[in-house]
Amino acid sequence: MFGGYGYLMWTENTTAPGTAWATGWGGQRIGWNYGNDRMVVVFSSREAWIPEVYELARDWGVVAR
């Protein structure tokens, strides 16, 4: 799902372009949209639904203010 990696950070998300992600244990994620500074913070112990989080981040990144 990612085209790039930095120390504890993932970049170039194919589902949510223009975002970077910090990945924690299980389903914990923090996503930054570096085009408009919006964030998504998720806490969970399961990763099964993480693709839906990336879709949510993609949609949240294009919503008009």
Among 7, 38, 8, 4, which Cα is nearest to 25's? 8
List pLDDT tens digits, range 3-34. 666 567 778 899 999 999 998 777 788 999 98
Among 46, 39, 42, which Cα is nearest to 16's? 39
Report pTM: 0.80
Q: Could you tell me if 61 and 16 are in contact, meaning their C-beta atoms sit under 8 angstroms apart?
A: yes
Identity of the amino acid at 28:
Q
Distance CA 27, CA 42 (A): 7
pLDDT reported for residue 30: 93
